[in-house]
Each structure stands twice: as C-alpha cells, then as structure tokens.
A and B are shown apart, each in its own frame.
Chain A
C-alpha cells in the first residue's frame, strides 16, 4: 500500500508536469468533441489522432489518446440526451430516458447527472485499475471462447427485462438485430454472406450507422411527420441542476454502473457498449418503479453513463498489466506504445513505472478536467434546444451524414444509416423498440464467433460449455433467471412480468402514442 502511494506520488509528479497536463486537457477536449459529434466515436477519434501522437514522448502520447477515449464517453451522452442521437455507440441506452427527460424540460439535470456519474465512475474505476490490475488481468485471460459465449448468452437473457412494452416485440427486434449481424464474412470459413456484391458489406454492418439511423434519423422523421412542430423548450437557469430527488435517485445507479462497467470492461470485447446495456437492464430490474423507464427515468441515464466510463478504465487493465488488447481501442493504444519503441507486455509496469503511474495519475486529473469542462457546458448545450427545428434538424442531418461517413470513409455506411432511419421510423410508428436491434447487431458477431470457436475447440461437443467452470456458472445463472421468470407464468397463468413489477403501465403507454 505504501508502495502504491509512493508510486502514485511519482505518477502525479509526471501527470501534473505542464506538458503532460496540457496533453491530458487537449485529449479531453478532443474526446468530448468526438463524443458530441454523431458517428465519430472514440475509435475513429483515436485512430485519426494516432499519427499526430507519434511526435510526442510516449507518456504524453498515451495520456492524449486515453483522454480522447474517456472524454468521448463523457461527450457521447450530450447528443443522446438532447437530440436522441447517440454520439457514440455506448450512448445508445442514454438516448431512451435521456431524451425523454429533455422532452419534459429536464435536459439540464440529465446532462449534469451524466457528467457527475461519469466523473465518479471514472475516478473510482481508476482506483480499481491501480490496485487490482495484475490479479484482475490474469482473471480476464481465463475468458476463452466458451466463457465468452456463456457471458453473451447471459447478456441476451437480460434483454427481456429491457423492454418497456411487449416482451415479444423486443425479442423480435433483438432477433432482427442478430440477423443483421449475420451479414458479412463468415469468420470461420471465409464465405461472404448476404453481401449482394458489395465489398463493403464483407465486414458486416457497422454499429454506428445502425445506431445513428435507428435513433437519430427516425426521431427527425417522426418529428417532421407531426402535425404541428414541437415547442421549442426554453431552458431556465434553475432547471439546469438536478433536484434533490434526482440526486437521490441517481446515487445507487451510479454506484452499480461503476462496479458493473469496470468488471465488464476487463473482459475483452466491445465492453463499453455492452456495459451500458447491462447497466440499464439492471437498473430497470432493481427499480421500485420500472414503469418509469423509457419515460424519462434519471436512473436510466445515471447507470449506463457511469458504466460506459468505468468500462474504459476496466479495458486498460489487461492492456497495461499484460500488454493484451481488450478491444479495438486499447489495440490502437498498444500500437502507439510500440511506435515509441516500448514493447507492451507483462513487464511494462516494472520497466516503465513512470509511464504506468503517470498514466494512472493523469486519469485522475483527466476526470477532474472533464467534470470542469462538462458542467459549465451543460448550460451551453441546453441552449442548442432554443434553435428552431427547421434550422436545427437539417443541421443535425448534415452532421449525422458527415459523422457516419467519416468513420470508414464509406458511402455504403451512409446508405445503411438512411435505410435504418426509414426502418426505425416505421418500427417506432408500430411501437417497436429499436434498442434491442442495436444490441443484437453488437452481440451477433461476437456470439457467433465465440460459439463456433468453442465448438471447433471441442470438435463439435457441446460439453465444453459445461466442463469449464466459469462458463458453466454463467450458464447456470442464465438458466436460473429464465426459470425464475417462468415460475409465476405456469403457477398463476398471469403475465409473469407483473411479479417483477415489470408490466408496462397502460396510462403511460397511451401517453407515449403519437
């Protein structure tokens, strides 16, 4: 412990040196921007800035890139809350309740809670990263294909809890998402599936165009279809800060989101996206008033936003402790280290203590910077809502197209976004939720790959899922969840979800029909 404090002292002396501090601030500002702009997510942002970091010293470079990563997680909530456009994929869940809060004139509190939640999650999870990195990283390595399959199945099972409306409808949407996720190269055999002669479809459908289309475009289309334009919400100063009740309601979601996000972040994969879905589902599940979800529940903003920030720190655990990338973003950051002649590996912490502890300390500093940066911006961002819709919406449309195009420089992605916008419009007219589609698209390729890898490892025997303890435990949990849900269904023959207080309240539903 004393060692840690001493190391941390060294770290802070690195992190607070003017140059490193400057790059932390620059990274946070760029990250916030990257998060705010729809389409361009942290991966695209870091990739674009990677070459620029080659000229810096390694500590500044890694601090800059990390700043972009967690800065994007802060910024991603802004457009989600204000315009129902996910600034990056991990903010999809924030769209649902965050935007409803905006429509009720509570945009300020939603943004403030997102920033504070992100700050708490960011800071607490760095403590976790600092103290637990080596043992946790070793645990993360034990996640092979069978464990991963079990985890993803568990994730799909909590889907049913996510829905505000009909479970059947949300499962149908998840299935649609999974089907969309089947497009692209079959990773086990190299066959192209459903590509219709388009090389670009070989990689499958990207999450960004799907999310921006289903959420952002469909919202714009729905608004355009209304008989009279929605009122311009003029925010008042006293409405900018959360009320006492909102603070109270957010405390536990932030705590749970932080914990969940960190744990999920460690496990390789697109952790920050999944963590926000899981957090939302958990909040809904434990809430005394689950019917409020989907209608502007602040818990639905606080939980996922904390989780996705916490997951970013979690993702650094295997990267720093073992030199193993836990996802595409840490992979790019590892490349940045390699360019500076540092071989990322199990010896990184010992060989480069100034880098490791400087990095840790800079994350504490960075989170403070982001809080200071984001809280005053709440007032500014909320004022965007004053812009009349005939001006605001075309502008948003332009930025959606620009952002989605920028990710891969692909026109096909823009088309996917437009098609998804149309699809989202139709589905929402028929009262289908679109979030499960995004989850399906995220999970499908990972689930398919890990499932088929597992079976290839076992030469086709399903026993592999039961013989490995971690996988078996998770599958048992999933099964228990499923059975628990089915018991009242058979016992009383009523809507089993009522037993969990999950049945949608009919008045609220009607209110939502437009």
Chain B
C-alpha cells in the first residue's frame, strides 16, 4: 500500500509542479486551466471538457479542466475573478454568474465577485428551458395551465434546482408574464427537482430539455412550451411562449470568461481559438450527444447578450425579493 500511496503523492506533486512552472513569453507556453465552478457531470463541466479538448488541439498547448465547486458556483467564479489576468485561468460559467452578485446585493452581503471583474470571451451554448407536467396532469396546454393557476392561485406547486437558481428564475418570469401565482418548492439540484415531478409530489417544473427529453419520450412527462425564441430541435412540435403571446425568453447558457485585465493579444488568441473550437467536428459531436445546441457568439455580441440576460435576471430577483417564511402562509 505504501508504494501505491507514494505513487499517488508523486502524481499530485507533478501536477502542482506543472501548474507552477513556465515563463511568460509567447502565449500560451504553459497549461491553461479552465475552471468549471460546478461538480463533474454538470452542464458547466460537460461543456468545458469538449471545449478544452478542442482548444488544446488548436492552441497546441495543454488545456485542463478543474472543478472548483461550492456555494452555488460562487467559489469557482470568485476564484477566476480574483486570479492573475494572464489568460492561463479561464472560467466556464452558466447563467448563474449574473444571479449570484444580484442575490448578494439583495441580502446586503459582501459580494463574492462582481461581474465587471470578468470579461466574456465567447458564448458556447444556450438551451431554452421547457415547461413540463406529469402525463397524468389535467393541463394539456399552456392555456389550460394558466387557466388552472388563475382558478387556484398559489396552489399549483413547482420544483426547482434551488432558490434563486436558474429554474426558479424561469418560472418567476412565467408567473410574472402570465399574471399567475405558483407555489415554489426548491430542491437541492435539477435532478431531485425532476424526480419530484416524476413522483407526482410537485405539479410542474421548468427544465433544460436534455434532462427531460427521455422522460417525455418514455411517456412520463408532457412538455407544454419552451422559453426559447425558436422551437427546439429535439421537440419540433413544442410551441414557444413567444408564439403563445408571452413575451419571455430564458436560456440556460454556458460561456467562457477571463479575468478583467487580461492583455488584449491574449484575449484575441483565446477568442480565435474558441471560434475554431465550435467548428471542430469532435466538439459538435460531443455537444450533439448531450442534446445541447451550440450557440456561438463572439465577445462583443456575447457581451450584449450577457447584459440583456443579466438585466432580466436582476429584475426577476428584485421582484422575488427576500423570501420571508411568513409570506408563504
């Protein structure tokens, strides 16, 4: 056993040594780290890995994904926001990057990071959420659903990945646009939230399509509508809320960021590599397997997209405000 332990130790040691070594001349000349602020197997991680693999080929330089998890992603995001702006530490963030600083503001907390500590490099993917109910539900369409919710305000329950989480935001936007009141039951992640609806414990939820398509095809869940501007490829018969007259749009997106202050030539090199990344066949194949549509935007357009998205989320958070226990009675 001792020998095994020693070898484990030495592997660790080599890992540290590699990440420390290297001088600075031409970028990149040492391994680049992409931080996924969520655990392996999550959207950020699953997107970061094929991106890193493609970038590695394009930059001819190792690109490593590390998971720095905690506090709903805040730990990893503030780690990158506060790291040296040299292009060797990048962030694969999701929509929640705009939520955390807003929530910190709401609770008068010292913010873990601010959004202007980071500059966007490229948007990689954007997946609209979809509204699903169990197949046994009386709601066959959004019309039924909204009518039912108006009949019994505050009684239809929805599960979410967590309070102020992306799935909570999507439902809050719908409630606001449709003028209905729903009962929010937060869970510890999207997986348990879907399970709760499958088990019939909660009435509905907004979910990323990839996680529920199998349940829809298996006849357990029924989709009602999607939050996208366009219909999604996997469910071409599913209308969008926009088509139905609700002016809402919401995506679970994944994008790459660098710390602010990264030199312009380095940023350009990274942006170029990402532009090539999304055209790689291996990358396209990996994303297709995940049922996640690629939605590439270069930095300037991504900045615009991000600003709009962040504003929308900030408004939603302000509307929700602080959740007081008394309010639920």
B-binding residues in A (CB < 8 A): 33, 36-37, 47-48, 50-51, 54, 141-145, 185, 187-192, 197, 199-200, 202-203, 268, 318, 322-325, 328, 331-332, 334-336, 338-341, 343-348, 380-381, 384, 399, 402, 408-410, 449, 453, 456-457, 459-460
Contacts and interface: CB of A to CB of B under 8 A. Distances in A.
Contacts of A457: 157, 183, 185, 201-202
Contacts of A344: 214
Contacts of A318: 195
Contact of B195 (A141, A343, A402): A141
B215 A346 contact: yes
A383 B235 CA distance: 61
B115 interface: no
A310 B164 CA distance: 37
A459 B288 CA distance: 42
Interface string B72-103: 10110010000000000000000000000001
Interface string B196-220: 1011111000000010011101111
Given A202-B71, A341-B288, A344-B214, A144 B191 contact: no
Contacts of B220: 345-346
A458 B157 CA distance: 10
Contacts of A460: 328-329
Dominant secondary structure of chain B at its interface with chain A: mixed
Contact of A199 (B78, B154, B188, B323): B78
Contacts of B325: 188-189
Q: Pick the 5 closest A-B CB pairs, nearest first.
A: A345-B214, A335-B41, A144-B201, A202-B71, A343-B214
B329 A343 contact: no
Contacts of A345: 213-215, 217-218, 220
A345 B207 CA distance: 15
Contact of A145 (B163, B201, B215): B201
Contacts of B219: 346
A191 B70 CA distance: 15
Contacts of A341: 288-290
Interface stretch (B105-113, B117-125, B242-250, B269-277): B105-113
A141 B71 CA distance: 28
Dominant secondary structure of chain A at its interface with chain B: helix
Given A381-B1, A456-B183, A187 B67 contact: no
Given A144-B200, A331-B189, 16 more contacts: A51-B65, A142-B199, A185-B71, A187-B162, A187-B186, A188-B163, A190-B164, A190-B323, A197-B110, A323-B215, A323-B218, A325-B192, A334-B191, A343-B214, A344-B214, A381-B1
A190 B71 contact: no
B65 A408 contact: no
B41 A336 contact: yes
A457 B71 CA distance: 26
Contact of B68 (A47, A202, A409): A409
Interface of B: 1, 4-5, 8-9, 12, 39-42, 45-46, 49, 65-72, 74-75, 78, 103, 107, 109-110, 112, 154, 157, 162-164, 183-189, 191-192, 194-196, 198-202, 210, 213-215, 217-220, 286, 288-291, 322-325, 328-329
B289 A192 contact: no
B121 to A, nearest CB: 22
A50 B289 contact: no
A335 B214 contact: no
Contacts of A142: 199
Contact of B328 (A187, A346, A456): A456
Contacts of A331: 41, 189, 191
Given A203-B70, A336-B41, A347 B328 contact: no
Nearest to A148: B201
21 contacts: A36-B1, A47-B39, A145-B201, A185-B71, A187-B163, A187-B186, A190-B163, A190-B164, A202-B70, A202-B75, A268-B192, A323-B218, A324-B194, A328-B39, A335-B41, A341-B289, A343-B217, A399-B5, A449-B187, A457-B185, A459-B183
Given A324-B194, A459-B328, A347 B217 contact: yes
Given A322-B198, A324-B195, A338-B46, A50 B71 contact: no
B37 to A, nearest CB: 11
A349 to B, nearest CB: 11
B214 A380 contact: no
Nearest to B289: A341
A200 B69 CA distance: 9
A18 to B, nearest CB: 25
A339 B1 contact: no
B71 A339 contact: no
Contact of A51 (B49, B75, B291): B49
A398 B6 CA distance: 12
A324 B218 CA distance: 13
Nearest to B290: A338
A128 B112 CA distance: 47
B199 A143 contact: yes
B109 A332 contact: no
B53 to A, nearest CB: 9
A106 B107 CA distance: 56
Contacts of B196: 144
A334 B202 CA distance: 22
Contacts of B103: 190
A33 B4 CA distance: 8
Given A47-B67, A339-B289, A325 B201 contact: no
B118 to A, nearest CB: 16
A185 B201 contact: no
A249 B12 CA distance: 43
Contacts of B184: 456
A335 B291 contact: no
B286 to A, nearest CB: 8
A147 B290 CA distance: 33
B218 A190 contact: no
B306 to A, nearest CB: 22
B112 to A, nearest CB: 5
Nearest to B192: A268
Contacts of B213: 343, 345
B74 A199 contact: yes
A141 B198 contact: yes
B110 A402 contact: no
B46 A189 contact: no
Contacts of A346: 214-215, 218-220
Residue from A142, A202, A331, A345 with most neighbouring chain B CB atoms (10 Å): A345
Residue from B1, B200, B291 with most neighbouring chain A CB atoms (10 Å): B1
B242 to A, nearest CB: 27
A348 B187 CA distance: 25
Contact of A449 (B188, B202, B215, B286): B188
B182 to A, nearest CB: 12
Contacts of B199: 141-144
Nearest to B201: A144
A56 B45 CA distance: 18
A332 B39 contact: yes
A408 B218 contact: no
Given A199-B75, A338-B290, A339-B289, A192 B188 contact: no
A190 B154 CA distance: 20
